Amino acid sequence: MRGKSIRVRKIAPDAVYGSEVFGKLINYVMVDGKKDVSRKIVYEMLDKLSKETKLEPKAAFDKVMENLKPKVEVRSRRVGGANYQVPVPVSEKRQVDLALRWLVGAARDTRGSKPIAEALYNESLSAINRQGNAYKKREDTHKMAEANKAFGHLTW
């Protein structure tokens, strides 16, 4: 092992739903340490999403996450002086982190003059319908892994 192993920080679950995933989402949305603003944005988005899908907020967001979580990704591996993109399965924790990062990043990119809560809602709704930039990012990741399947034997 190279260097020290990292200490995993425990993310506090959100106050309303008691979900660690919502706590992480709040942290991803947060800018300049303004957590209250971030909470309002996330809860507004969840309310809109639950009204549209006619599901509980947790269940609706679980659908979003299920469609955004990548199952495999490629990692660079150096073998004999050449770099190969080797497909590897993604751990559950990393799946959640990547999905949230892609969701918030896509919402920020497509935001324009809309409030961020509305952009997050639109991106979440698109993810449920298997569309949108965040879902495209997941599909691109899967396509890359599929294309490099031949190097699967180089996993470490």
pTM, entire model = 0.90
User: Alpha carbon of 110 to those of 9, 49, 115: distances in Å?
Assistant: 31, 18, 11
pLDDT of residue 156: 64
| pLDDT, mean over the chain | 92
pLDDT of residue 155: 74
- The kind and range of the H/E element at 32 are none
The dihedral over CA atoms of 108, 104, 68, 134, expressed in degrees to the nearest 10, equals 10
2 CB neighbour count, 10 Å cutoff: 4
Q: Is 14 a member of any domain?
A: no
By the 8 A CB rule, do 85 and 73 touch? no
Q: Is 3 a member of any domain?
A: no
Q: Is 5 a member of any domain?
A: no
CATH number, domain containing residue 120: 1.10.455.10
Q: Is 76 a member of any domain?
A: yes
20 CB neighbour count, 10 Å cutoff: 14
Q: Is 4 a member of any domain?
A: no
| pLDDT tens digit sequence for 131-153 | 999 999 999 999 999 998 888 77
By the 8 A CB rule, do 49 and 125 touch? yes
Contacts 24+ apart (CB under 8 A), 59-67: 60/124, 60/128, 61/21, 61/22, 61/124, 63/128, 64/103, 64/124, 64/127, 64/128, 65/21, 65/96, 65/99, 67/127, 67/128, 67/130, 67/135, 67/138
The whole-angstrom separation of Cα 102 and Cα 109 is 10
Nearest to 93, CA basis, from 15, 20, 142, 13:
20
Nearest to 21, CA basis, from 70, 71, 59:
59
pLDDT of residue 77: 87
Q: Is 11 a member of any domain?
A: no
pLDDT at 112 over 90: no
Q: What's the average model confidence in pLDDT over 66-86?
A: 91
Q: What's the average model confidence in pLDDT over 22-46?
A: 95
Q: Could you tell me the pLDDT band of residue 1, with boundaries at 50, 70 and 90?
A: low
Q: Could you tell me the pLDDT band of residue 78, with boundaries at 50, 70 and 90?
A: confident
**Range of 73's domain?**
20-154
Specify the number of domains making up the chain: 1
Q: Is 8 a member of any domain?
A: no
pLDDT of residue 71: 95
Q: Is 15 a member of any domain?
A: no
